[in-house]
Amino acid sequence: MALDRTYLDWNATAPLCDEARLAMMDALSLPGNASSVHKEGRAARAALEKARRSVASLARAEPAHVIFTSGATEAANHVLTPDFRMGRAPLTIGALYVSAIEHPAVREGGRFAADKVREIPVTGSGIVDLAALQAMLCAHDHETGLPMVAVMLVNNETGIVQPVADVAKLAHAHGGLMVVDAVQAAGRLPLDIDALDTDFLILSSHKIGGPKGVGALVTRGEVLMPKPLIRGGGQEKGHRSGTENFFAIVGFGAAAQIALEELGERSSRISALRARLEAGMRAAAPDVIVHGSDVERVANTCFFTLPELKSETGQIGFDLEGIALSAGSACSSGRVGESHVLTAMGRDPKLGGLRMSLGPTTTEADIERAIAAFAKVAGRRRLPGKAA
């Protein structure tokens, strides 16, 4: 980044890492189609399968269980469907249960009709309400089909870690399927599809330093599978037809490999940086509210509210000070509005929320600049009893 800019919006997208850039440049010399049987095609296939192994390793899954897509949104729409197959036999999913804090890609319900989507409440701490989910699953009408539960591992706004293994236990106890959006967890927490006890895992390349426009649906097995979203030439074993986005997939694989290798080191360093950031924020504005600070969060995310400061005003103010951050999710066509996550947590969404998210190249100098900008933005507020 330029010296006068500090990028603290890694949850929206991570800058392309050097490893992904180099891998993609090398792939440019491979002219073949990975579906072709000649030498050039086999070389492309080898590079694609190397990337598949790297992405699988990131989730501790089998390479054969990785389906490449155009991104996490497509992966979500692929798996969130009432139409499944158990081997060759059709299987119906009767209803989809999603947490109230899900990313819109999941919260919208994919291919389910609106009246088949049920919202799971969360506690005031922003954690999915297990007791409420248990009651909802007990009331599920199995004559309509099996239940499906979709809960994210890490919330994209607050960074709060969800108890997805406990959620999966409930889902499976009621004969249902489990889907985990691990987009914000990848590269920040160890992933293990078996330990999470989920049937499906959703990943995105550009959140871990890979290119935009590619993601993956990772499955636990190959017997129970959703009806394909895109049909055609049978690529990805028929689960996702269309010529693979080869160069992006190669970059995704390289980013996944480095994210896995540096996971522990990154987490420790970034955690210390966030601690310094939040201490500086509290010193500058003691009334700042850091959402999720009382529960487990990923190390890189700080979602905060400054009373009497609107989200859009704050975002502009930080931008003018050279700080790139987000007002919650940045995946809604640039809209800045009330946070559905704060609403679900029982907070007044009109207070607004701003998110600073750190990454592998964030420095101590970046944090000091962010604290200085925060102090300026906080000082411009018109607080009750304070002269304008």
- Residue 332 pLDDT greater than 70, yes or no: no
CA angle 41, 57, 275 (to 5 degrees): 130
What is the band of 386 on the pLDDT scale with cuts at 50, 70, 90?
low
> Greater confidence, 1 or 213?
213
Query: What is the C-alpha separation between 69 and 15, in angstroms, rounded?
Result: 20
Q: Which two tokens stand for residue 373?
A: 């900008």
Question: Considering only 41-45, 180-184, 206-210, 349-353, which range has the smallest mean pLDDT?
Answer: 349-353
Q: For residue 329, give the DSSP letter.
A: -
- Residue 307 pLDDT greater than 80, yes or no: yes
Asked if residue 188 and residue 94 are part of one domain, the reply reads yes
Task: Write out the residue range of the structural domain in which residue 308 sits.
Answer: 6-15+263-379
Q: How far apart are the first and last CA of the chain?
A: 35
The predicted structure's pLDDT at residue 283: 98
Asked if residue 27 and residue 11 are part of one domain, the reply reads no
The predicted structure's pLDDT at residue 306: 94
The predicted structure's pLDDT at residue 56: 98
Please tell me the pTM assigned to this model: 0.94
- Residue 76 pLDDT greater than 90, yes or no: yes
Query: What is the C-alpha separation between 230 and 269, in angstroms, rounded?
Result: 41
- Residue 347 pLDDT greater than 80, yes or no: yes
Asked if residue 354 and residue 304 are part of one domain, the reply reads yes
- Residue 103 pLDDT greater than 60, yes or no: yes
Q: What is the distance of C-alpha 6 from the center of its chain?
A: 22
Asked if residue 34 and residue 171 are part of one domain, the reply reads yes
Q: How many helices (H) and strands (E) does the chain have?
A: 11, 14
| The amino acid at 345 | M
At 146 the three-state DSSP class reads strand
Across the range 374-379, mean pLDDT stands at 96
Please tell me the total count of domains within the chain: 2
Query: What is the C-alpha separation between 60 and 54, in angstroms, rounded?
Result: 10
- Residue 1 pLDDT greater than 50, yes or no: no
Helices 263-284 & 364-379 angle (0-180, nearest 10): 30
| The amino acid at 276 | R
Active site residue 138: no
CB 160, CB 292: distance < 8 Å: yes
- Residue 300 pLDDT greater than 70, yes or no: yes
Asked if residue 96 and residue 245 are part of one domain, the reply reads yes
The predicted structure's pLDDT at residue 66: 98
Asked if residue 236 and residue 133 are part of one domain, the reply reads yes
The predicted structure's pLDDT at residue 382: 67
Asked if residue 328 and residue 276 are part of one domain, the reply reads yes
The predicted structure's pLDDT at residue 352: 80
Asked if residue 227 and residue 244 are part of one domain, the reply reads yes
The predicted structure's pLDDT at residue 384: 55
Give the CA dihedral 31, 34, 36, 37, nearest 10 degrees.
Answer: 110
Query: What is the C-alpha separation between 301 and 288, in angstroms, rounded?
Result: 15
The predicted structure's pLDDT at residue 338: 75
Query: What is the C-alpha separation between 15 and 347, in angstroms, rounded?
Result: 32
CB 186, CB 259: distance < 8 Å: yes
